[in-house]
């Protein structure tokens, strides 16, 4: 009887934590799902919005730019004013953006709505930070690994759902669905997630936020629009150089102001810096697979390269990689406790090298691409799970939100670069192909670039210290 009472008390203590984890994971799935919504209708946007292809490209670009700017800034706001409060604000902004698109077919309004939806990108790093604040130490790694996996799971599951809705219903139904999902997530967070009590003192660095936004806007515009503008055009070069100049001036200012938006001295710590740089490479590898494999599966079969599958069937081939990430997330949490997150990151990078290497030699059957995508799921599952753990072991707790936001930004830089580079590679191979579609050599080059990015991530991970920063510098203050 006494044992039964003890079990009941233990379950009562654990149930709030489980509920919080479930709510945060649901929120993460909604966020990653939202970014796949326009994939099924991307080629039809000029027709659906009665606009030019160049204008409708901003439907994708606007979300990318907004997400990159909002993520690190929302992390800092979460550290200062409460992570739950900022999560609720981001969900509300995303809900408004979804509702705007659901009610309109005007290209300008849809672009504005998609920019507002970019706010959703900030909820995953903030959710990871909430986990660190409120969960017992023995549950943090597993919960963080599962939260990180939602980045791939939501996309993998959301793609066939979006394709199915697009095929049999009005495309506005996609955004009515995200409106409902955001409203549900808002209610669950308000009800279940406790108010954050850990706050960072000081004032918000508005000038730093403006400078970071300007630098990212210029750099990402040059990366994302370089292919259509021309990589050597004056517009691309001036925009990219302008972004670099603003970034240097912003860094100089951040090192000299009293309450910086991002503490660059903490960000420059070797484990944080190397993890963030590895995030760029991993982000590149992930998005390269999202571009290359679906296009190969959907390309007409007559040219001997593609398989002629519909978007819905192709997305079903891609989906198991996301499910693999979800199933591996608790394993990743346990492995991190045994071998450390550094080794986990190296395992992830190695799996990506094997995946793209396999594709170089074996890509003539659908089942071979399925195996490659499963290996991609293993690599991204382990890699993405390890990065927040490495960050949180190397920054003070009051810097968790901003540091995780910065890590998410570096991943975004990788995915943005992959979208531009892979798009240019496949477009160039299409131009030289008699069928007007990407050639086998174009896909081979894409696989090689995926391997190169994974090798870079593996090399950077090898130099990350194994011990947490506090263990290696016990006499150092939390905030340098």
Do 461 and 268 touch, CB atoms closer than 8 A? no
Q: How many residues does the chain have?
A: 480
The model's pTM is 0.83
User: pLDDT digit string (tens) for 17-31?
Assistant: 888 888 888 888 888
CB-side neighbour CA atoms (13 Å) of 288: 34
Backbone angles phi, psi at 464, to 5 degrees: -75, 130
- Burial, 288: exposed, middle or buried (Cβ in 10 Å; 0-12, 13-18, 19+)? buried
pLDDT band at residue 330 using 50, 70 and 90 as cut-offs: confident
Number of other residues whose CB lies within 10 A of the CB of residue 168: 9
- Which of 206-210, 243-247, 278-282, 476-480 is least confident? 476-480
Do 442 and 310 touch, CB atoms closer than 8 A? no
Give Cα separations from 165 to 77, 153, 160 (angstroms): 36, 18, 9
CB-side neighbour CA atoms (13 Å) of 81: 12
- Among candidates 358, 384, 360, 383, which has minimal Cα distance to 372? 358
Do 281 and 454 touch, CB atoms closer than 8 A? yes
- Confidence check: pLDDT of 115 > 60: yes
Average confidence (pLDDT) over 51-79: 84
pLDDT of residue 478: 43
pLDDT of residue 472: 52
pLDDT of residue 469: 55
User: pLDDT digit string (tens) for 427-461?
Assistant: 888 877 777 788 888 899 999 999 999 999 999 99
pLDDT of residue 480: 37
Rounded-to-integer distance, Cα 325 and Cα 305, Å: 28
pLDDT of residue 112: 94
pLDDT of residue 141: 80
Do 146 and 326 touch, CB atoms closer than 8 A? yes
Rounded-to-integer distance, Cα 321 and Cα 323, Å: 5
- Confidence check: pLDDT of 235 > 60: yes
- Confidence check: pLDDT of 11 > 70: no
- Among candidates 149, 178, 179, which has minimal Cα distance to 161? 178
- Confidence check: pLDDT of 402 > 50: yes
Rounded-to-integer distance, Cα 158 and Cα 166, Å: 12
Sequence-distant (6+) residues with CB within 8 A of 165 are 40, 171, 173, 174, 177
């Amino acid at each position: 009887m006494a044992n039964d009472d003890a079990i009941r008390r233990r379950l009562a203590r654990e149930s709030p934590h489980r509920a919080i984890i479930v709510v945060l994971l649901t929120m993460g799935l909604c966020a990653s799902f939202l970014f796949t919504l326009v994939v099924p209708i991307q080629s039809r946007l000029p027709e659906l919005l009665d606009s030019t292809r160049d204008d409708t490209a901003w439907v994708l670009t606007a979300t990318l730019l907004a997400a990159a700017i909002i993520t690190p800034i929302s992390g800092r706001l979460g550290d200062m004013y409460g992570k739950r409060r900022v999560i609720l604000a981001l969900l509300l902004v995303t809900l408004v953006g979804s509702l705007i698109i659901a009610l309109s077919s005007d290209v300008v309004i849809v672009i504005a709505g998609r920019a507002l939806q970019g706010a959703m990108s900030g909820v995953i790093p903030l959710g990871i930070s909430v986990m660190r604040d409120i969960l017992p130490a023995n549950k943090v790694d597993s919960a963080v690994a599962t939260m990180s996996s939602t980045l791939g799971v939501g996309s993998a599951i959301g793609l066939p759902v979006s394709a199915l809705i697009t095929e049999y219903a009005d495309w506005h139904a996609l955004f009515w669905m995200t409106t409902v999902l955001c409203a549900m997530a808002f209610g669950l967070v308000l009800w279940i997630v406790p108010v954050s009590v850990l706050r960072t003192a000081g004032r918000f660095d508005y000038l730093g936020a403006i400078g970071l936004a300007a630098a990212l806007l210029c750099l990402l515009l040059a990366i994302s629009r370089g292919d259509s503008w021309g990589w050597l055009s004056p517009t691309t070069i001036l925009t990219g150089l302008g972004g670099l100049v603003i970034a240097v001036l912003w860094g100089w200012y951040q090192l000299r102001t009293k309450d910086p938006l991002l503490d660059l001295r903490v960000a420059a710590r070797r484990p944080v810096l190397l993890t963030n740089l590895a995030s760029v490479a991993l982000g590149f590898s992930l998005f390269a697979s999202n571009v290359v494999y679906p296009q190969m599966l959907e390309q007409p079969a007559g040219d001997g390269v593609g398989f002629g599958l519909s978007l819905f069937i192709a997305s079903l081939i891609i989906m198991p990689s996301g499910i693999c990430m979800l199933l591996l997330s608790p394993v990743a949490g346990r492995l991190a406790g045994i071998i450390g997150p550094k080794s986990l990151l190296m395992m992830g990078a190695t799996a990506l090298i094997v995946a793209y290497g396999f594709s170089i030699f074996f890509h003539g059957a659908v089942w071979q691409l399925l195996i490659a995508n499963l290996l991609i799921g293993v690599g991204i599952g382990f890699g993405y799970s390890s990065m927040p753990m490495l960050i949180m072991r190397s920054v003070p707790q009051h810097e968790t939100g901003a540091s995780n936001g910065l890590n998410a930004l570096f991943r975004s830089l990788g995915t943005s670069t992959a979208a531009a580079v892979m798009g240019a590679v496949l477009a160039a191979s299409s131009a030289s192909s008699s069928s007007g579609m990407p050639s086998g050599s174009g896909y081979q080059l894409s696989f090689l670039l995926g391997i190169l990015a994974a090798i870079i991530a593996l090399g950077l991970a090898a130099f990350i210290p194994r011990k947490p920063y506090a263990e290696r510098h016990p006499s150092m203050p939390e905030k340098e």
